A and B are shown apart, each in its own frame.
Chain A
Amino acid sequence: MSDAAPLEVTGLVKTYDDVVAVDGVDLVLRDDEVLALVGPSGCGKSTLLRTIAGLVAADSGTIRLSGQLVEDGSVRLPPERRPAGLVFQEHALFPHLCVRDNVGFGVRDVPKREVADRVAEMLELVSLGSYGDRYPHELSGGERQRVALARALAPAPSLMLFDEPFASLDHNLRVQLRQDVVAALKATATPAVFVTHDQREALAIADRIAVMRRGRIEQLDTPAAVFHRPVDAFVGAFMGEATFLPIETSPSPHTVLGPVDLDGRAPTGATAMVRPDDVSFAVAADGEAEVVAAEYHGSGWLLTARAGGAPPIAVFTSHLAAPPVGARGHLGLVVGHRQVVVADTTEP
């Protein structure tokens, strides 16, 4: 096709009655990219996805799929004319059709022979080659999602959209399936947008992550950047466990954990973020900090430590050296880790 981006969204707005669900979103997807849309419930991520699919009409703004204008606020192309595949959380297989007919449903305008070949190819792709004659109720939850993926990929869409695709599966299955899904997307060179409420899932599968809040994209960047260099405290807290410490300016900028690099920022309205794995706790009878809570996480302990007037600080320690509640010690930064100064939006 052309060099146009698989998806280009500009100034998209969608309101329900008085609630602004999507508030001026701009988004350009790169070729073969997997993008995760994350954010707290009600942030507008699902509405954004459904607007792209054509299931929800936008109030204003434009959507282009591979350069083709499909929505410009007043006129819109119906979903069946958009080259986007769609996978939902559950319930979306056609229960009265066998797996083969489900997968072949969207393949049209080609000879029967080619439909059969395409279906076989897609089932092979999701490792369900021998399942063609089964019915949806005879499949497990994971198998159903594989069929849903194969069905959506069969018409060779120029873009895939996923709405919480793994949310109804148990944890181990979810990890396995998401790896397989990303592999299938990469194998077919299909760009995709995932909506998920699971930050860890987003970090694991996405090339880039868009964090949404109140209908706007707060930050759009690589997983590492979103996790380690969030634009503000909201994004930092949303992406994972974090402690935000007030910054003292005299004599030089510092927190209870030591000096911070302001990186050219003004200290007012800013806060220093540390993740539990950034912080160390060295047991010492005369330490300024005390362990007030400890939670076992298998690979280690998540401690909550208090030092002076600072907020409680989360510390991740090895399971080999786990100080008990009440133990005292010194808090510090793990070698190579640092405190990140972000805009203070701790009131979410």
Chain B
Amino acid sequence: MTAAAPTQGGTPEGQRVERSAGDRASQLGWPVVAFVVATLAVIPIGFLAVSVLDPNVEVWRQQWRTRLPDQLVDTAVLLIGVSAGSLLLGGGLAWLISAYRFPGSRLFGWLLIAPLAMPSYVLGFVTLSVIGFTGPIQNWWRDTFGQDAWFPEVRSMGGAIVVFTLVLYPYVFLLARAALADQAGGAYEVARSLGAGPFEAARRVLFPLLRPALAAGVAVVMMETLTDFATVQYFGVDTVSVGVFRIWRGTFDRDAASEFATLVLVVALMIIGLERVLRGRARFGEAGGAAAGVGPRRLRGAKAAAAFTTCAVVLLASFGAPTAQLTFWAVEEATGDRGTPLVDRFTEFLQNSLILASLTAVVCVVLALVLTNGPRFSRGRGIGIASRMTAIGYAVPGPVVAIGVVLALVALDDVLEGIGLGLPGVVATGSLVGLVYAYSVRFLAPGLNAIEAGLEQVPEEVTASARSLGSRPSSIVGRIHVPLARTSVLTGAVLVAVDALKELPIALLLRPIGFNTLPVWTYNLATESRFEQAALPALAIIVVALIPVGLLSLQLSRHAEAT
């Protein structure tokens, strides 16, 4: 029973497994860390949910009497309109690219996802300035057809729906294409060979099989639409997200804003629920065996021209033309003699954006490494649940995350003050810490998914071999897992960084005073209709955002070659 237990001969009763402190840490450490990470990710949203338990009736009554009913209607109309548009455009283009060959079809296959790099608020203000009431197109129109000639109102719900559709359809396009390449395409051909006409085959086989992919794509589109409150403001559309922003900026009433943000959260949850229902019991990748994709048919003559024109017009309207216009403005502004005072702060804002994006990327990659490696070293089921929980941030709109983080940090401030650690300059209101925290909650999911996929490529046996050769888990992560999954780790970091670079709502709500990012700068200039001056930062965002889109294209074409 003593420490100096005799070892020769038998095995004394009461002998213990002699573990070092390190062994205990390695067994306990992973679940504990994963639990902490998950808690940090969920807390902001938890605070929001709790705030509803004690509603400020006055605020709700006042909102209900004034804007709320219209906001609900606008939100619903916008979401439905953008979903329908994205389904039509994304689904249609996916079918065109997958089922037919025509000049440029291969090139369009990956060019058509370029609008992912175009923030909706950028396309929004370019659209308004070019074809809005005072824009060159309408001026020419009135000069040609008279001052009273009819022209559709651009600054309207319809305009907003078109703009969102043009930048968000790629989500549906990507998922529908992947589904068509897997089982759905092959099943369509089988249905045709069994005597079904194209419409019957589409109705009875193709749509049911594509439904999960379309539902997932539309859910992302709706989330992205819901999270926005810049583009909608340009177009005079009053959604619940705008409501949160307005209460926050107008009154700085934290409680009222947070209660209103729960309304956005409820809409987000409804979207998730809708996706679950639409998806039914089907799941992705359920294709058994090597089901061939759809075999493309060659188009000729007028049909080929029509297909080419469709793709070209969409690409031009969503990406080519606005980028060209921005470049023109930026060049004009740089060479003109107006002397833009803000240009010398361009590097500062760019730097701010890059610092914020890099910090977020580093935080997210580290957290993702902890969450994905945990299950390898600890058998607890909790770790898997923790990792799923952290993904919740991505499904919650930016304004909700932002306000949740403020609530969490205010609580933290109070606690710190309570135990006599009150810091000069509170943590919560407008510090870089709060901003990085909110960004990390929101963007951990894409980083987590990329790194998880990479780590799945490392067989369990490799990990087990390294352990049996005497390596501690932390050393295995550094010497084996990260080197082997380095492409995925890099991809995850880039995805997070670019999402963070484009993010506007959280930055607008949480940025420290005087701290501007490229999106905030772009937004402020565009809100004052100084479009030419907004061109440079907008272009910078697009150029940086093209990096992951390019990576994605590369991955897709590699996948296409492999199959």
Binding site for B on A (CB under 8 A): 2-4, 8, 53-57, 64, 67-72, 75-82, 84-86, 88-96, 105-106, 108, 148, 151-152, 155, 161
Q: Across the interface, which residues of B come within 8 angstroms of A75, CB to CB? A: 16-17, 19
Which of the segments B44-52, B334-342, B466-474, B535-543 contacts the partner chain?
B466-474
- Closest chain A CB from B154 CB (angstroms): 55
B484 touches A71 (CB 8 A): no
Q: Are A79 and B467 in contact (CB under 8 A)?
A: yes
Q: Give the chain A neighbours of B20 by CB distance below 8 A.
A: 81
CB pair B464–A53 under 8 Å, yes or no, is: yes
Which of B4-12, B279-287, B363-371, B522-530 lies at the binding interface?
B4-12
Question: Which chain A residues lie closer than 8 Å to B11 at the CB level?
Answer: 4, 8, 64, 67, 69
Asked if A94 and B459 make an inter-chain contact with CB atoms under 8 angstroms apart, the answer reads no
Q: Helix, strand, loop or mixed for chain B's interface?
A: loop
Given A77-B19, A96-B483, A151-B469, 20 other A-B residues pairs in contact with their CB atoms under 8 A: A2-B8, A8-B11, A55-B467, A69-B11, A69-B15, A70-B17, A71-B17, A77-B18, A78-B26, A79-B468, A80-B469, A80-B472, A84-B468, A89-B461, A92-B462, A92-B465, A95-B484, A106-B468, A152-B465, A155-B470
Hey, which chain B residues are within 8 Å of A54, CB to CB?
467-468
Pairwise interchain contact B7-A69, C-beta atoms closer than 8 A: no
Q: Quick one: given A75-B16, A79-B468, are A94 and B480 in contact (CB under 8 Å)?
A: yes
Q: Is B142 part of the contact surface with A, judged by Cβ < 8 Å?
A: no
Report whether B468 and A85 are in contact in the complex, using a CB–CB cutoff of 8 Å. Answer: yes
Residue of A nearest to B464 (CB): A55
Residues in chain A near residue B17, CB distance under 8 A: 69-72, 75-77
Provide the residues of chain B in CB contact with A152, threshold 8 Å.
Answer: 465, 468-469
Contact assessment for B469 and A106 in the assembled complex, using a CB-CB cutoff below 8 Å: yes
Q: How far is the CB of B203 from chain A (nearest CB, A)?
A: 43
B379 adjacent to chain A (CB < 8 Å): yes
| Contact partners of A151 in chain B: CB under 8 A | 465, 469
Contact of A86 among B18, B19, B464, B480 (CB under 8 A): B464
Take A69-B11, A81-B23 as given contacts and tell me if A53 and B459 are in contact as well, using a CB distance cutoff of 8 Å: no
A80 touches B468 (CB 8 A): yes
Q: Can you give 8 contacting A-B residue pairs, CB < 8 Å? A: A3-B9, A85-B469, A90-B461, A92-B461, A92-B462, A92-B465, A106-B470, A108-B470
Contacts of A72 in B (CB 8 A): 16-17
B325 adjacent to chain A (CB < 8 Å): no
Q: How far is the CA of A103 from the CA of B428 in the complex (A)?
A: 52
Shortest Cβ-Cβ A-B pairs, 5 listed: A106-B469, A86-B468, A79-B467, A92-B461, A88-B461
Q: What does DSSP make chain A's interface, helix, strand, loop or mixed? A: loop
Does B27 interact with chain A (Cβ within 8 Å)? yes
**Interface residues on chain B, number (Cβ under 8 Å):** 29
Assess the A77–B23 pair: CB atoms within 8 A: yes
Cα–Cα, bound, A220→B168 (Å): 66
Q: How far is the CA of A95 from the CA of B486 in the complex (A)?
A: 13
Residues of A within 8 A of B480 (CB): 94
Q: Which residues of B contact A161 (CB under 8 A)?
A: 468
> What A residues does B459 contact at CB under 8 A?
91-92
B23 proximity list for chain A (CB < 8 A):
77-78, 81
Q: State how many angstroms separate the Cβ of A50 from the closest Cβ of chain B.
A: 8
Cα–Cα, bound, A84→B467 (Å):
10
A229 → chain B, closest Cβ, in Å? 31
Known: A88-B461, A92-B462. A105 touches B469 (CB 8 A): yes
Chain B 451-464 per-residue mask, 1 if CB under 8 angstroms from chain A, else 0 = 00000000101101
Chain B residues at the A interface, C-beta cutoff of 8 Å: 7-9, 11, 15-20, 23, 26-27, 379, 459, 461-462, 464-472, 480, 483-484
- Chain B positions within 8 Å of A108 at CB level: 470
Closest CB in chain B relative to A281 CB, distance in Å: 45
Query: Within the assembled complex, what's the spacing in Å between the Cα atoms of A81 and B484?
Result: 24
Give A290 Cβ to nearest chain B Cβ, in Å: 44
Given A75-B17, A94-B480, verify A80-B464 contact (CB < 8 Å). no
Q: How far is the CA of A152 from the CA of B465 in the complex (A)?
A: 8
Residues in B whose Cβ lies below 8 Å from that of A55: 464, 467
List the A side residues contacting B472 at CB < 8 Å.
80
Contact A80 B19 (CB under 8 A): no
Q: How far is the CB of A95 from chain B (nearest CB, A)?
A: 7
Chain B residue nearest in CB terms to A88: B461
In the complex the two chains form, is B464's CB within 8 Å of A79's CB? Answer: yes
- Residue in chain A with minimal CB distance to B26: A78
A155 contact set on B, CB distance < 8 A? 469-470
Contacts of B484 in A (CB 8 A): 94-96
Cα A68 to Cα B16 with chains together (Å): 9
Complex interface: chain B residues within 8 A of A2 (CB)? 7-8
- Point out which of A57, A64, A81 has the most chain B C-beta atoms below 10 A from its C-beta: A81
CA distance A164 to B16 in the complex (A): 32
Q: How many angstroms from the CA of A89 to the CA of B461 in the assembled complex?
A: 9
Residues of chain B lying within 8 A (CB to CB) of residue A93: 462, 465
Q: Tell me whether A88 and B464 are in contact in the complex, defined as CB-CB below 8 angstroms, given that A75-B17, A75-B19 are known contacts.
A: yes
- With a CB–CB cut-off of 8 A, which chain B residues contact A84? 468
Bound-complex Cα distance A82 to B26 (A): 14
**Which of B23, B461, B471: most chain A Cβ within 10 A?**
B461
Q: How many Å from the CB of A147 to the closest CB on chain B?
A: 11
Q: Which residues of chain A are near B8, meaning CB under 8 Å?
A: 2-4
Contacts A69-B17, A95-B484 given: A80-B7 contact, CB under 8 Å? no
A86–B471 CA distance with the chains assembled, in angstroms: 13
Q: How far is the CB of B175 from chain A (nearest CB, A)?
A: 31
Residues of B within 8 A of A3 (CB): 8-9
Q: Are A78 and B469 in contact (CB under 8 A)?
A: no
Nearest residue (CB) in A for B27 is A78
- What is the bound-complex CA distance between A96 and B487, given in angstroms? 13
Residues of chain A with a CB closer than 8 A to B462's CB: 91-94
Distance A94 CA – B461 CA, assembled complex (angstroms): 10
* Docked complex Cα distance between A279 and B534 (Å): 94
Shortest distance from the beta carbon of B374 to any chain A beta carbon, whole Å:
14
> How far is B470's CA from A85's CA once the two chains are assembled, in angstroms?
9
Nearest B residue (CB) for A50: B464
Partner of B16, one of A53, A69, A96: A69
- Which residue of B is nearest A81, CB measured? B23
Closest Cβ–Cβ distance, residue A176 to chain B (whole Å): 23
In the complex formed, the residue of A with least CB distance to B459 is A91
A56 to B471, CA, bound (A): 17
- The chain B residue with its CB closest to the CB of A108 is B470
Chain B residues in 8 Å Cβ range of A78: 23, 26-27, 467
Given contacts A79-B464, A92-B461, contact A4 B470 (CB under 8 A): no
Residues of B within 8 A of A82 (CB): 468
Least distance between B178 CB and chain A CB atoms (Å): 27
